[in-house]
Structure 1
């Protein structure tokens, strides 16, 4: 085996002449002298610790001698001192100060100078979070079921929601609620509008109302309550159940019964689109045409597979007509594309189109995709699946309290997976207009 010299000659490995050895030893001594000179001019970790008052020089020398006596090499103590000194450099840092944990939680040390105080008092951007995201401590609903004289629970059931029958689940829930001492009244819908009518007939002092179905059924129940403070407990039986997933609602009987007996609630904004209330997301254009095709074919229960042909046909036939979007009176978009308006980040198949939406901030979130063909639509879809679409070219994101969408030719509009009608459409926000049960209070 051979290796090249710097001058191009070849030297056998393991055979080194004396001159090369001497040259290398000389270089090593020169490097050691240079390093020693640099170290002598640089404050040592001990000096830094002594200056900070963390350790005295005498203590350090005593520790070094004891380390040497115990067979521990002085280098180990030196390395430890370097580590301690590196941490000691943060002792007086105004931002990275250690916190003291007391009974009331972390307590930050007071800054030692005016400059540090100014830095700590500077406001920092905080991401908008809803009370649900912040995981608030459990609290009772106003008029908790244990305090109400009326022990009646109304159960509104959509028997054709989703892809399976809900009769057995409703029967189990009714038995569990009756075992807890509630009077249970079950009413089944037969068509659109029945759930809203049943909810409108519920007394103001009712314990709570249970909505068994999908997002459309929940929307009707909230619309029928018309802003009353009766809590709504969702039993997810729809195809997507966007709202139930967002709220963390489970479908097993034991969890639902516990939540009904000792509900932990949160308030929720509602959206009004051309006079109709909804809670999640509305789409204008492409996805609304998919919903329109699906409703023409629907004959009862549906599943995700029922969306395939409507989606396939809309994908190849949609021409992306131009539309205009206004937010709080200002036109923010005009051109070919599709628009989404809503109140929660979650959409079908867990798409996060309105990724920054907060359900109780009193604002509508608007996402507009500039799109004129299938290739561009696929690119937008891929970015949305990866949750990286916001801020990309051709994607416009806005917030406001009033949104209007119009077009030269009428475009279909859907709300929470149900066909609303056609453009023009106007959206307004109703802050904290609904109340949902999101869990059970601990005993």
Structure 2
């Protein structure tokens, strides 16, 4: 087997020594080429080259969810073809690693490498569904390139939190869960539309859902982690179904207290519920429109401002080693 290992040298939970150990472990079982990323988007470019090659069987992503997202978008540059494209393996190296943990992999990179090697020996893999976000036809965002996401996306409040975290990281702050909590509180204080949202959800054959402040699109669960605690925004979300949505139409102090508490207590059986909460399950396609440009994020990566995004749930999009 020939494999490409894409290494993010800035991965927050691995050192250079750890990465060397992982590379040697993988290289002992396969013909491995390891490449270190040098710029934003480099992992995508490397994965695209691997997808276009005829002799690469596997692409291994060593990094956080952002690195994994880039690799996935490189592999699927020409669209899904699970049997024709290289498989994907993930060695978690970020602060949260939602995708790897949702696949059932250990959160420790050395243990995850051992699990991957065992899965390769046993020929264990699964084909997962993914989400695709595109600029809506006829909108000012129509020309925005389509992009795949592995576990979640958001337009509005949660994307604003992600944007704030990225700004802090660019100034040298470490990506920690405490940093996310602080920026969430600051986003809440500064949110201009806490009581009347600006987002409308539209889907074919159904009445629109209007005035949402927050819209979390999930491709699997949990939605994210607070330390080692999983948070379930949409407990029914799965790699084997379409997309799920949690929308909130109010973010008053009382509403945040209520839904925040529900989220902290959420489980695979129950997520946030209430008069101002909208939960939709297994959607194949829908569009989020905004009256004004709002922050947009995918897999924890802030992508700027959008006024309209169309989401598609694509089943059996990519083979992963688990």
- TM-score band, normalised by shorter chain: 0.7 to 0.9
Report if the CA contact (8 A) 2:165-2:175 is conserved.
Answer: no
Deviations 1:348-379 (A, max 9, x none): 22210011112122x11111112142321221
Q: How does 1:190-201 map to 2 (within 5 A)?
A: 190-201=38-49
Q: 1:306 aligns with which of 173, 179, 189?
A: 179
Cα distance in 1, alignment partners of residues 240 and 272 from structure 2: 21
- Change in 2 beyond 3 A, CA 1:395/1:312: closer
Report if the CA contact (8 A) 1:380-1:389 is conserved.
Answer: no
Stretch deviating more after TM superposition (345-354 or 382-391): 382-391
- More helix by percentage: 1
Q: 2:311 aligns with which of 405, 427, 436?
A: 427
- More strand by percentage: 2
Q: How does 1:329-408 map to 2 (within 5 A)?
A: 330-349=206-225, 350-361=230-241, 363-387=242-266, 388-399=270-281, 400-408=283-291
Q: How does 1:255-334 map to 2 (within 5 A)?
A: 255-274=115-134, 275-299=146-170, 301-320=174-193, 321-328=197-204, 330-334=206-210
Cα distance in 1, alignment partners of residues 165 and 33 from structure 2: 32
Deviations 1:254-282 (A, max 9, x none): 33333344441111111111211101011
- Change in 2 beyond 3 A, CA 1:390/1:295: closer
Q: Does residue 1:173 correspond to 2:22, yes or no? A: yes
**Total equivalences in the alignment:** 285
Cα distance in 2, alignment partners of residues 210 and 192 from structure 1: 18
Q: Which runs of 5+ in 1 are unaligned?
A: 1-150, 439-443
Cα distance in 1, alignment partners of residues 131 and 31 from structure 2: 32
**Normalised by the size of structure 1, how large is the TM-score?**
0.61
- Change in 2 beyond 3 A, CA 1:266/1:405: same
**Normalised by the size of structure 2, how large is the TM-score?**
0.82
Give the structure 2 partner of residue 240 of structure 1. Answer: 96
Give the structure 1 partner of residue 58 of structure 2. Answer: 208
- Change in 2 beyond 3 A, CA 1:280/1:328: farther
Report if the CA contact (8 A) 2:158-2:216 is conserved.
Answer: no
SS at match of 1:160: coil
Cα distance in 2, alignment partners of residues 167 and 328 from structure 1: 50
Tell me how far 1:318 sits from its aligned partner.
0.9
Deviations 1:172-220 (A, max 9, x none): 122223333x221111112221111000111244231110111121111
SS at match of 1:312: helix
Tell me how far 1:304 sits from its aligned partner.
1.8
- Change in 2 beyond 3 A, CA 1:178/1:323: closer
RMSD after superposition: 1.9
Cα distance in 2, alignment partners of residues 419 and 186 from structure 1: 27
- Change in 2 beyond 3 A, CA 1:372/1:209: closer
Cα distance in 2, alignment partners of residues 258 and 233 from structure 1: 12
Q: Which runs of 5+ in 2 are unaligned?
A: 135-145
Cα distance in 1, alignment partners of residues 19 and 116 from structure 2: 11
- Change in 2 beyond 3 A, CA 1:258/1:172: farther
Higher relative contact order (CA 8 A, sep 6+): 2
